Amino acid sequence: MTPDFFDSFWFTYVLLPFLIFLSRVIDVSMDTLRIVFISKGDKIIAPILGFFQVLIWIIAITQIMQNLNNWVCYLAYAGGFAIGNYIGLIIEQKLAIGVQLIRVITHKDASPLIEKLKSKGYKATSHEANGTIGLVHIIYLLEKRSVIKKIIPLIKEYNPKAFFTIEDIRFVSDQNEFITAVPKKGFIWWISRGRIGR
């Protein structure tokens, strides 16, 4: 490329802002994932993501500082930040990293739901308790986030008005006994495997 190209309208107001926008999208997406891995206690992937995230950010901010009079670069930088957050959250939801606890509280007999869950291969623990309006049944399921979306329809089918909560779990002492095994699915499985409270 000739020096004239870098001074041209297309480079200054189109290509350069686009590159800043793209680098910011990648940078913020990685930062979003880094925060997720930190919250899970990961000591390997989080630092690696942090290294590349800061490296990309330095490249982007350097171009901003060298083009302070180019307002299009400011818009590209801000737009990349916004889109990067959105894409980062989508990636995090697709990866579905970690384990969650589902707690179901119902007045109905919990036996049919427990049998249904067991028939599907899920591992449930239940007990009776006294609530403000009488006897209730409480069911606990500790499962990978990737299978939670399959369990919720079963709960609603059993009792559309059943009360249930879903909580993120930071640490699990033993996954084998109480958590349903998830089939290995390439890179996504490798990223999420064993990354719980470590």
Q: Residues 79-117: pLDDT tens digits?
A: 999 999 999 999 888 887 788 899 999 888 888 888 999
The answer to whether the beta carbons of residues 139 and 107 sit under 8 Å apart is no
The amino acid sitting at 113 is L
HSE-up of residue 120 (Cα within 13 Å, Cβ side): 20
Sequence-ordered alpha helix ranges (H) in the chain: 3-6, 9-10, 16-39, 45-66, 71-95, 111-119, 145-158, 175-178, 186-192
Q: Hey, is 180 helix, strand or coil?
A: coil
pLDDT tens digits, residue range 18-77? 999 999 999 999 998 899 888 877 788 899 999 999 999 998 888 888 887 889 999 999
Q: b vs e for 165-188, b when ≥16 Cβ sit within 10 Å of the residue's Cβ?
A: eeeebeeeeeeeebbbeeeeeeee
The model's pTM is: 0.66
* pLDDT tens digits, 117-175: 988 888 888 888 887 778 888 999 988 888 888 999 999 888 888 889 999 887 777 65
For 100, half-sphere exposure in the C-beta direction (CA atoms, 13 angstrom radius) is 18
